[in-house]
Structure 1
């Protein structure tokens, strides 16, 4: 069910993205492709070791008909999709909440020691997906910043390493940016990192941002920069080495969170109370703070969003829930998934002081509740019977 909830959330974000992009990919364009762009694609093909033979269709004069290539109505290549996600993209709902590639499907990859600069000849690219391939620890090329028509860029799980180039900030039309990776990629290639986040300040059209598993430990300005991006809907910063010091002290009006519908901060180094900077999450559908070191009360303002359907707080050290569990459920009757497992709740007040049937929700939508290993005591209240 968690997988279905995540899939539905991502689908809504993708629909929003498609509304903004409004592209025309003419697979059977009568114009044919531009010869210079065809030659660039052939050079790109030559630079790859194609374990899957996925590029075997890259023959003939009309590159608009090649697998993974789509052209606009002018004949220019507008979309290049070399991803390996066909059948190999999985979600481990019992552990990591971010996507991961099945290692048994690594034969579907193309590999190269770096991305060939011939890619810059595709000046009209709007959509570029190189995810799931193996670029052997090479750096994300700076020349990608010259593809200024790009609205969709996915370089996830592609074996890149080193510092994220500031030139990505030149892609001011971007709606979708995914640079995420896996833990095994980090250990084998050194992984991606950023010392600051200033390069992202110009990405004002960005809807979807996934930087999970990228080292942002030194990028202390990440929250301030995110707050300058007015269009963000999906933010995944899981396993990024984020500490409380990444959140500004004192009053900090996180206006971007008023629009965000997914926020992932799991597997970081956050401790103490949940930062007050997260109070403005009024449009949120999914929140994941699991596998941190929070060690105080779960505040009731955490569920300020009436749209919240999934909340993960597992593997922390929370000791109390403000108003008890019933207060959370009553505030968000539409909540479908709640994971409080493996915390250190104290006393029998966590389940709520109300042992009657006076819940404000006539019916709960909750279909997943995990309280394992949370030290919860006391009798089971009658309102548990409403959880159908």
Structure 2
């Protein structure tokens, strides 16, 4: 046995190095070797060593996270005794062959593009029936899976992980999975599964669902009925993970838990579930881990408590019986509506408690003066930290601390996994933290302070780093000095003062889900290596000095939900691949750049888009009729009910963006999911406004102003009943404003000055040939309604009124003007209060 696995990813200290260079052929001298582990080292893209195929006694081989590349040599076929092979995160793998004795095969994140490279289609029972464990997860480009026909040979398979593999185009795949008679562990997280597919998987074959012990369907889509069915059918489940499911935001937790008496882990976090916790939870006697955070649950906690109930709407007191949970390690009930007093009895037996979060409730802590629980720390002093060595979470956020961090503070305990110090007045430079001892996937949040100087080095095993809203300067050079893949999933350096070009060194951060570099001083082109961020969901590069074209390499980032590139100097055309390669896009904000060309028809393929802002560019051509295909703007309940999230298994991040709303720029965050906007203003568009845009009935803002649009305003404009902001001004529209505009009851009517105008009128101004209410220039028919009768006779009514010398043309004009003045005078007074109420309303919604 030879185990040279590096611990660098877990404990990146100076004393913990990793192997690099080439794998030496001197290993051939170990002809009795059966176990070889070289994982978590860095071989810098070198090819697979041919000679390993000569170690014919090998039974266990682990080359994962070694940065090897290219094809596996044919000599690997000599490893006929190999039982376990782990090649996870071995980049650009082009070929893997099946070995007759293989039981365990892991190809996680290998960049596979087609399963033909696995030669599964040519397997027979003798070569594949032994396989028990197969991990193909995080192969983002693995689209061609041949209908999973290769599964029929894997009759002994017990564990199958295809998370983050797109199965949406695979026909009838649930039947293929259910043909595996021995399967007990199934992970299909983020596979773009629909409700129909999930229902097929779990309902067609009841015997299949009853044999499963582990099931993970997180980050897919299904309905409440499918959700309830799960708890009635999968009776043998021990672990069930259903986090961040699209479509459960109005579902309640089913009461039928009697059949899940074997369940030990239940994770329902991040689904916006409503209602209370069913009393049937009392029947889950085997349950030891329950995650319900980030939902919309309410009601009393009665005599039930779990270890993760934060960010809900629970009311009432904290149950005193919590003191009986002597094995409890995490108690998080923060951000609820709990009331009442917390006594010593609540905590007296919680000797194993490691994390306590009670914030954002209305609880009163009432302890005896001399009582000190074993986990209690005096947060009024920071000096105590110098003697503490066992804490795993440190949160001193929003504590009003104004100081320079002492040097000893950064000597963290080995298992620290969360450091939060945001929203204080901490200042000074940060030291080099690359040697700090942090747990794997640790999170650091130092945002909203006064830190300055250059951005320091951080450990490569940090998964979330938030340095936003400080005074950091310099460049992002610390990213380029990472010479091994990192665990970083969220990087937020927005609202600082770093400068320089965005360095072309993003290859080692391919797990990044959130990247926010907005509101800084970066310049130059967007580097091509950003296309290697195949997991990124939120990309914010706004308000910098970036130039050049939007790089085509970003088409590889197919998981993108938000692209915010506003307020730069980007040029070129809007890439057509945005509509073809980014199917999950919800926000596209390209405002205030130098983009030119026409409106790409492919943008009409963005069926999830809710915010489309390409204003203040140089876009020419017409608005395509296919804009009516942006169906998320016509659905009453969309994929997200109030906020837009980026998520994975370990955390979620609430997105935000800036929009111009009624002439002012606003930041939307918690209410972002309610906002559905099209802003094409200040371009060079011409032609008519397509009638199909009125199909987008959930639009709340439409801005087409400052273009060269012409033609009539469609009478169907009144179908946009949820419209709160409309601006068609400064175009070449003509004809009469349709009467259906009065159907837009949410449209603000706010006087803007002393003229007889309203906000409605402002929306149509500077269209010289446009007439009719609410514009002051009336159409001819409005001024002379009696001149034209139904037969087209212009003289008949004139002669009939000829004898009435007092009722002249001047009389009609004076009466009309008097009516208009009186009417709008009343409106001016009556709506003054409306404006302030509407402003208060929108502030309330966004808060």
In the superposition, the TM-score normalised over structure 1's length comes to: 0.62
**Correspondence 1:269-280 to 2 at 5 A:** 269-273=221-225, 274=227, 276=229, 279-280=232-233
Distance 1:209 1:327 in 2: 31
| Contiguous gaps of at least 5 residues in structure 2 | 3-17, 38-54, 327-847
Does 2:201 correspond to 1:246?
Answer: no
CA RMSD of aligned residues (A): 3.4
Q: Match of 1:300, SS?
A: coil
2:268 to 296, 313, 322: 313
Q: Secondary structure at the match of 2:212?
A: coil
Q: CA deviation at 1:207?
A: 1.4
In the TM superposition, what are the counterparts of 1:168-247 in structure 2 within 5 Å? Answer: 170=124, 171-181=128-138, 186=140, 190-191=141-142, 194=145, 196-247=147-198
Which one of 56, 62, 72 corresponds to residue 82 of structure 1?
62
Residues 12-44 of structure 1: per-residue CA shift (max 9 Å, x gap): xxxxxxxxxxxxxxx69xxxxxxxxxxxxxxxx
Match of 1:257 among 209, 214, 222: 209
Q: CA deviation at 1:232?
A: 1.6
C-alpha spacing 1:371/1:60, structure 2 compared with 1 (3 Å): closer
Deviates more, 1:369-378 or 1:59-68: 59-68
- TM superposition shift of 1:229: 1.6
Q: CA deviation at 1:230?
A: 1.9
Sort the Cα spacing of 1:304 and 1:167 in 2 relative to 1 into closer, same or farther, 3 A: same
Q: Are the aligned partners of 1:226 and 1:256 in contact in 2 as well (CA < 8 Å)?
A: no
In structure 1, list runs of 5 or more residues that go unmatched: 1-26, 29-49, 70-74, 85-105, 360-365
Greater mean alpha carbon deviation, residues 236-245 or residues 215-224: 215-224
SS at match of 1:276: helix
Q: Once the 2 structures are TM-superposed, how far is the Cα of residue 209 of structure 1 from its aligned partner?
A: 1.3
Report the alpha carbon displacement of residue 297 of structure 1 after superposing the two structures with TM.
2.2
What does the per-residue CA deviation read over 1:115-145, in whole Å, with 9 as the maximum and x for residues that have no partner?
22332233443322222322x2x4454xx24
CA displacement 1:37-57 (0-9 Å, x = unmatched): xxxxxxxxxxxxx97357326
Report SS of the residue matched to 2:175. Answer: helix
Structure 1 match to 2:121 = 167
Q: Which has the higher contact order (CA 8 A, sep 6+)?
A: 1
Structure 2 CA distance for partners of 1:61 and 1:345, relative to 1, 3 Å: closer
CA contact (8 A) 2:261 2:286 kept: yes
- 1:297 is matched with which residue: 224, 249, 252? 252
Note the C-alpha offset of 1:300: 3.2
Seen in structure 2, the aligned counterparts of structure 1 residues 221 and 384 have a Cα distance that, compared at 3 Å, is farther
Tell me the secondary structure at the aligned position of residue 81 of structure 1: strand
2:136 and 2:161 in contact (8 A); partners too: yes
Q: Quick one: structure 1 residues 168 and 152, their matched pair in 2 at CA, closer, same or farther if it must change by over 3 Å?
A: farther
Give the 3 Å change call, closer, same or farther, for CA 54–230 of structure 1 in structure 2.
farther
8 Å CA contact retained: 1:150, 1:173: yes
Helix, strand or coil for the counterpart of 1:245? helix
Bigger Rg over Cα: 2
Between Structure 1 and Structure 2, how many residues are aligned? 285
Q: How does 1:349-368 map to 2 (within 5 A)?
A: 351=301, 355=302, 368=306
Give the match's secondary structure for 1:232. coil
Query: 2:297: which partner in 1?
Result: 345
- Report the Cα offset of residue 80 of structure 1: 4.5
- Indicate the SS of the match to 2:20: coil
Aligned to 1:153, what secondary structure does the other structure show?
Answer: strand
Q: 1:245 to 1:124 in 2, by over 3 A?
A: same
Structure 1 residues 279 and 194, CA gap change in structure 2 (3 angstroms): farther
Match of 2:33 among 65, 90, 96: 65
Q: Is the contact between residue 210 and residue 236 of structure 2 (CA under 8 Å) also seen in structure 1?
A: yes
Q: Deviations over 1:159-183 (max 9, x none)?
A: 33334654386412101111122xx
Q: TM-score, normalised by structure 2?
A: 0.31
